[in-house]
Amino acid sequence: FQSFVDSGSRYFAASWGGIQWEKQVRKSAQIHRGGGMSVLVTGAAGFVGSHVSLALKKRGDGVVGIDNFNSYYDPSLKKARKSMLAEHGVFVVAGDINDGKLLAKLFDVVAFTHVMHLAAQAGVRYAMENPHSYVHSNIAGLVTLLEICKSANPQPAVVWASSSSVYGLNEKSPFSESDRTDQPASLYAATKKAGEEITHTYNHIYGLSITGLRFFTVYGPWGRPDMAYFSFTRNILQGKPITVYRGKNRVDLARDFTYIDDVVKGCLGSLDTSGKSTGSGGKKSGPAPYRIFNLGNTSPVTVPALVSILERHLKVKAKKNVVEMPGNGDVPFTHANISMARREFGYKPTTDLQTGLKKFVKWYLSYYGYNHGKAVN
Ligand SMILES: NC(=O)c1ccc[n+]([C@@H]2O[C@H](COP(=O)([O-])OP(=O)(O)OC[C@H]3O[C@@H](n4cnc5c(N)ncnc54)[C@H](O)[C@@H]3O)[C@@H](O)[C@H]2O)c1
Ligand SMILES: O=C(O)[C@H]1O[C@H](OP(=O)(O)OP(=O)(O)OC[C@H]2O[C@@H](n3ccc(=O)[nH]c3=O)[C@H](O)[C@@H]2O)[C@H](O)[C@@H](O)[C@H]1O
């Protein structure tokens, strides 16, 4: 088969469906421990998706990935993550979650017990440049995926990535799951909030088990080049200036930066406790779990403090341009209350920003080298 899909800014073709392809999918989905799960991971060539896929595979679960390798950031990094996963026996299918035929084919080949849905158009500020890519992946793609999940027999349990950005202009701190989320500050946040409502309807009508995870600014090795900690590192090493946003009245912006290994533990914990969907073939036979959890670090750090830590690890002074936060969708601070996730599956982040950034810098230098020159997009 050949499907042509609009992956944000450009069209690409993905081939799938041959005997060899099916063999690869089946092998990748094989469970290597008793009671394990077979998980379809969307966005598997992405930052969080690659880490979660690897962690699942390492503990004996079956994992098949899907990713459209779009060019929102350097696709060669996504391909490198795919190769790294292939070395560990995880196959990442090239395709778009809007391609219902491809998803249906995957469910024909494998009776997935779980879907870890991480494919999305991420990034808060890019929504002003390319709003439709958010609708394409975070709304239309989500619905296509849920349609396939609800029709599957048996239905998988779905765990998916929402975002701390849903708290928007909420001023109560720390952010609790019961706080209001009806004042998004960006289209990105609005599409994640819409995702929370959309998944609720599939839980209600079709009995899909749904868990939404509100990640708080995740960072670490194999990270995203568009995020501040990554682009600051690149610019500092290249001697280029960085732009540090500041809030109104010269107040520093702050984020509850969360290390990737902690987030991965939260993803696995929520998959393990997600319970079962209660429907099959599009029919519900009873109530199914609908859950939402914050996965943060519970200790916000200001952006200037992030820069100071990077300067120390890189042993280079940054050239800083401090400017007032433009009206670009950013919120002044984030801070997670994680007591619900702690209670439900023992979520307990253990990595502070200093330690986590040290690991990131080590990875960055080994991946791009000291002569990183023009290696990154
Ligand atoms: N990293 C963070 O700080 C953070 C914070 C909150 C929420 N999230 C959410 O977590 C998830 C993972 O984020 P990430 O940081 O790994 O981002 P990422 O961009 O590295 O990963 C997303 C992956 O999904 C793929 N993708 C996008 N649209 C697709 C589509 N239509 N079909 C198939 N594949 C598609 C991309 O190619 C990419 O590899 C996303 O849903 C994101 O919104 C991330
Ligand atoms: O938790 C989330 O839900 C989100 O987390 C992440 O968003 P953010 O918290 O905005 O991360 P990031 O871009 O690293 O900016 C960090 C800080 O640096 C400031 N920032 C940024 C860029 C810059 O050039 N200068 C600057 O000061 C900026 O103002 C901010 O204060 C994910 O990208 C996103 O996908 C989303 O899911």
Render pLDDT for 184-207 as a digit per residue (tens, 0 to 9): 999 999 999 999 999 999 999 999
- Beta carbons within 8 Å of 243's beta carbon, 6+ residues apart: 321, 323
| Res. 334: pLDDT tops 60 | yes
Taking the C-alpha atoms of residue 352 and residue 61, their distance in angstroms, rounded to an integer, is 29
- Beta carbons within 8 Å of 179's beta carbon, 6+ residues apart: 167, 170, 172
Average per-residue pLDDT for the chain: 94
Evaluate: CB of 46 within 6 angstroms of ligand 1.
yes
Evaluate: CB of 70 within 6 angstroms of ligand 1.
yes
- What is the phi/psi pair of residue 242, to 5°? -115, 150
The residues that are catalytic are 188
User: Concatenated DSSP letters for 203-241?
Assistant: HHHH---EEEEEE-SEE-TT--TTSHHHHHHHHHHTT-E
- What is the phi/psi pair of residue 249, to 5°? 55, 35
| Res. 276: pLDDT tops 70 | yes
**CA distances for 91 relative to 22, 23, 47, 267, angstroms:** 11, 10, 16, 20
Pocket perturbation via mutation, ligand 1, pick of 167, 211, 215 by most ligand atoms within 8 A of CB: 215
pLDDT tens digits for 218-248?
A: 999 999 999 999 999 999 999 999 999 999 8
- Count CB neighbours of 101 within 10 A: 13
192 CA closest ligand 1 atom index: 43
Closest to 352 (Cα-Cα) out of 255, 223, 257: 257
pLDDT tens digits for 102-142?
A: 999 999 999 999 999 999 999 999 999 999 999 999 999 99
- What is the phi/psi pair of residue 259, to 5°? -75, 145
Amino acid (1-letter code) at residue 240: K
- What is the phi/psi pair of residue 172, to 5°? -75, 135
**CA distances for 203 relative to 197, 211, 219, 276, 279, angstroms:** 10, 10, 31, 11, 10
Closest to 165 (Cα-Cα) out of 150, 142, 183, 147: 183
Alpha carbon of 75 to ligand 1 centroid (Å): 13
Alpha carbon of 160 to ligand 1 centroid (Å): 11
117 CA closest ligand 1 atom index: 41
Q: Considering every ligand atom, which ligand is closest to the CA of 333?
A: 2
**CA distances for 163 relative to 198, 216, 265, angstroms:** 15, 7, 17
